[in-house]
Chains A and B, each alone.
Chain A
């Protein structure tokens, strides 16, 4: 079973920041938090991942709480093309472990 909990859906206005929460209260010490998204009719796309520290790349920022039991993916300036299902996944993928997908959050960016 997936080890994360996400809201089923969220709406965001175009140009505004989209903040997608994820709870992972049973995360282990060696497990990372990964975010993927799936745009309609495409395969999932890797966004970002982190262990303890906050991370930022060209696509998004990842904020992980100090106790690591929850995190937030931030899309700083959401566009209509960011409409997708966003999956928060925990795992130790560097050790060859598998990705286990939960239900994800449907993000709808509206103009």
Chain B
């Protein structure tokens, strides 16, 4: 299965600033997904990023707040802009692919963001 490297693994940021999270995959993938997991909650999909096209955002998420880049088939970034304490969450990237025993999506280990 694909191996995902996500950076940074954690960060503490001041409100009003922005943080860019990187997701690097060791193989070429068409679709990449960005999720948010608020404290004690399940995962919520933010957007789907396909190489060569604009990201598709889910209801409640907008490009101005969460701009995404997808410059090639192995890399993507998610920026959390103008942060507030409510943005404190774990942000995860995910890619499609075949796992060791079947088709499934692989997840990075996440970026734990705390906004103060």
Binds B, one of A12-20, A38-46, A63-71, A72-80: A38-46
Whether A100 contacts B102 by the Cβ 8 Å rule is no
Residue of B at shortest CB range from A91? Answer: B105
Q: How far is the CA of A81 from the CA of B108 in the complex (A)?
A: 19
Name A's interface SS.
loop
Evaluate contact between A43 and B103: CB separation under 8 angstroms.
no
Contact indicator B104/A34 (Cβ below 8 Å) = yes
- Decide: A94 and B103 in contact? CB cutoff 8 A: yes
Q: Is the interface of B mostly helix, strand, loop or mixed?
A: strand
The complex places the Cα of A96 from the Cα of B103 at a distance, in Å, of 11
Instruction: Tell me which residues across on chain B come within 8 A of A58, comparing CB atoms.
Output: 101
Within A89-111, the residues touching B (CB, 8 Å) are: 93-94, 96, 98-104
A43 proximity list for chain B (CB < 8 A): 4, 92, 94, 107-110
Counting contact residues on chain A (CB < 8 A from B), the size range is 20 to 34
Bound Cα distance A88, B55 (Å): 26
Check if B43 is an interface residue, CB within 8 A of chain A: yes
B115 close to A (CB within 8 Å): no
For B103, list chain A residues within 8 Å (CB): 49, 93-94
Q: Contact: A99 with B106, CB < 8 Å? A: no
CB of A46 within 8 A of CB of B104, answer: yes
A98 touches B33 (CB 8 A): yes
Q: Taking the nearest CB of chain A, how far is it from the CB of B38, in angstroms?
A: 12
Who on chain B is nearest to A99 by CB?
Answer: B105
Task: Using CB atoms and an 8 Å cutoff, list the residues of chain B in contact with chain A.
Answer: 1, 4, 30-31, 33, 35, 42-45, 48, 92, 94, 96, 99, 101-110, 112
